[in-house]
Structure 1
Amino acid sequence: MTARRKICIVTGTRADYGLLYWLIKEIADDNDLQLQIIATGMHLSPEFGLTYQQIEADGFSIDAKVEMLLSSDTPVGIAKSMGLGVIGFADALARLQPDILVVLGDRFEILAAVQAAMVARIPIAHIHGGETTEGAFDEQIRHTITKFAQWHFVAAEPYRQRVIQLGESPERVFNLGSPGLDHLQYMDWLDRPTLERALGLKLRSPFFLVTYHPVTLDKQSPSIAMQELLVALDRFPEATVILTYPNADTGGRVLIEQIDQWVKHNQHRAKAFVSLGQQRYLSLMGEANVIIGNSSSGLTEAPPLKKPTVNIGDRQKGRLKAKSVIDTPERSPDIVAGIHQALSEEFQVILPSIKSLYGIGNVSQQIKEKLKSVPLQTQKAFFDIEHNF
């Protein structure tokens, strides 16, 4: 009897778990594969909601927990967390001995994981490579992970070309779309009354869904940008506002304090959540009038749902954006203008015709089939693009 191929998924945040959920389920349900899950980073932090519990509530077993997140979001604190992560992942991978390590995105927790896997000669499959986010050091981390990985699952053709430009062989790079869009196909959606009961807040229109993360390469303090955003929200006193906390990035904790203070003064119309979970978050997105902030979900999931996004600042600079995305500087007058544009009749007319730039779903099943068949090798040749000098 042939041994089942062990596929190990690393997840460090509520966001990447949401994108990986259907892939995890596909692997768990396949008799030819053995699923392993390593939870790390924000999942294990009480401050960020102990979201590993959601993984278990979904019926999955966590095979290893890698504690690495220090209670500091300074550059020194983040760097030390990465060091702890490499140590923790070295131990976890030595025990689990996976055949393939699957990682998604561009966070420092994932960089720690792939460093340990590379030294252990474990093949790495990377999801969502080739993208650019010029306002965050996620940009450098993402491209670095690409060079660690043997197999690449990208979300759009321009991203496939960029991964190839980084020296990866075209036969190793698959453009299958964003796995996060699988939720739009398979998820059980919550209706507005159910959401209102769950959140304890009436979702009166206009309804804004807001997520803002620190722009880690910006010299300006993220607290200044957050204050501009909150001042802009004050200009819409009739709006219901649901905010989600930022990631555990440099400068993130001060943003949480600002959010909590703002919500305290707007309790009649606003609430903030450490983590909403993918079902509630996407269901809220489906009900929202405008998506506001700098989360990638405003670029990937919002357009197929025909929802306008006011994308603030440079965090997503360089990513593909549908015509439903309105870019604004991190200044309250510009944010206000962007929200007014999103709510305008002229802008609402274009939303039904918006197309997804990140695929049409059924991505996780395709990734799983590739993981079943790709060679288990770590050596790879650098692919040189031909130049005519």
Structure 2
Amino acid sequence: MKPKIAFFTGARSEYGSLKHILRAIIKDNTFDYSLIVSGLHLLNQFGSTINEIKKDGFEIKYVIPIFDENISPSYLEFSNAVRDISKALLEEKPDGMFIIGDRIEAYAAALAAHFTNTKIIHSGGGTLTNGAVDNIYRYNITNLTSIHITTSLNNFNRLKTLPNVEKKNIHFVGSFAIDGIVNFKENKISIKKQFSKIIPNKFCLMTFHPVTSSKEDIALIMDKTIEYLIEKNFQILITYPNNDNGYQKIINIVDKWKNHQMITVTDNLGSQYYYSALDDCAFVIGNSSSGLLEAPYFHKQVINIGTRQDGRDTDVGVSNVSCDFEKVRLALELGFNSNWKKIPNNNIFGDGNTIPKIMKILKQNFK
């Protein structure tokens, strides 16, 4: 009998990475897998991204609703998630559970695995994001994890300092997302295929998420930034936020501007068109982790605003700016003065060879 690994996905952000390891699992045929889909994937407001998973051809074993539409998560959704994921694991009896990231539903999945004596493989430990409650979830997931997959050397070394983490179980492999970027670059598609009005190199990619560990008015900064860019006659492609507390304020700003001729709004691009947007845009602005992780691999300048990503590793080309519009405006002026020149990156999240390393680790630990 082959070892069985359960894979949990709760959001578009980590599914773009997860699907690459799923494809490798299927191709290699060493393991059986069970896919558990939950969280934002099931919400219409965030693009019903379960449909992307189905389109990719993966068999979904469990669909576990957690959130209601238009409501930020609370203790009730969290406790229900732990209960329902635990039931799935007790029924499925996998040898291990693979979890990516640090959202609240990932934490619920980790607790469910812990209570059902299911070994956890976690990708994303060691990262710091001092401006988000994810920091707490990530640290707690690390404490429950048996096999630690890190995306950067700094994260790897940070985990090694924790007294309750076995050093032999910490691995630096890089980010799955870079494997996806390498694959995309071998067969590029243009963002114009999805949005015909967008002019390549004449638009910016904008994503803002709520800031959950400070009182920054990120929605106000977003509003002023949009106004500034429109005055510059520059197109903006806006992607939706996640559903952390305070997301509705950002949605309100999106709704305010969504009908302007210079604005294009999408609730979900999917990984391939997201890479198209990164490839074709002039620059990236907002406070999303993708601006720090993926955008540098397209040699884009990035304006990272506020404290949400404080502590996270940053490559060259990323400008960290406080949540002050005058500072943001100055950073934008510098970028426009440079004609948004491309910036070579240092590959701090790996070289696109993550999947073979993951497969080797899984085979060593599940026989």
**Which of 353, 362, 365 lines up with 2:353 in the alignment?**
362
- Give, in whole Å, the separation in 1 of the partners of 2:114 and 2:104: 16
1:163 maps onto 2:159 in alignment: yes
Structure 1: state its 5+ residue gaps.
Answer: 377-389
Determine if contact 1:66/1:89 at 8 Å carries over to the other structure. Answer: yes
- Give, in whole Å, the separation in 1 of the partners of 2:94 and 2:85: 12
What is the aligned-residue RMSD (CA, Å)?
Answer: 1.8
**Which of 209, 213, 222 lines up with 2:209 in the alignment?**
213
User: Superposition pairs for residues 215-234 of structure 1, below 5 Å?
Assistant: 215-234=211-230
Counterpart residue number, 1:302 = 295
1:82-104 CA-partner distances (Å, limit 9, x unpaired): 11111110111112111110001
Counterpart residue number, 2:64 = 66
What TM-score do you get using the length of structure 2 for normalisation?
Answer: 0.94
- Give, in whole Å, the separation in 1 of the partners of 2:364 and 2:193: 46
Aligned letter for 1:59?
Answer: G
What TM-score do you get using the length of structure 1 for normalisation?
Answer: 0.89
1:271 maps onto 2:267 in alignment: no
Counterpart residue number, 1:25 = 23
User: Superposition pairs for residues 1-389 of structure 1, below 5 Å?
Assistant: 3-71=1-69, 73-74=71-72, 77-167=73-163, 168-187=165-184, 189-192=187-190, 195-203=191-199, 205-236=201-232, 238-264=233-259, 266=260, 268-345=261-338, 348=341, 351=343, 353-374=344-365
- Give, in whole Å, the separation in 2 of the partners of 1:103 and 1:95: 18
The Cα of 1:344 is off from its aligned counterpart by 3.2
Distance 1:204 1:161, change over 3 A: closer
- Give, in whole Å, the separation in 2 of the partners of 1:214 and 1:34: 37
1:132-191 CA-partner distances (Å, limit 9, x unpaired): 000000111111110010001101111112112222122100001111100122126444
- Give, in whole Å, the separation in 2 of the partners of 1:16 and 1:159: 18
Q: How many residues align?
A: 365
Determine if contact 1:326/1:342 at 8 Å carries over to the other structure. Answer: no
- Give, in whole Å, the separation in 1 of the partners of 2:133 and 2:221: 18
- Give, in whole Å, the separation in 2 of the partners of 1:53 and 1:166: 39
Runs of 4+ in 1 over 6 A off after TM superposition: none
Percent of aligned pairs sharing the same letter? 28
Determine if contact 1:108/1:141 at 8 Å carries over to the other structure. Answer: yes
The Cα of 1:20 is off from its aligned counterpart by 1.3
Of 156-165 and 182-191, deviating more is: 182-191
- Give, in whole Å, the separation in 2 of the partners of 1:176 and 1:204: 33
Instruction: Classify the secondary structure of the residue corresponding to 1:310.
Output: strand
- Give, in whole Å, the separation in 2 of the partners of 1:46 and 1:346: 38
Determine if contact 2:230/2:262 at 8 Å carries over to the other structure. Answer: no
The Cα of 1:204 is off from its aligned counterpart by 5.3
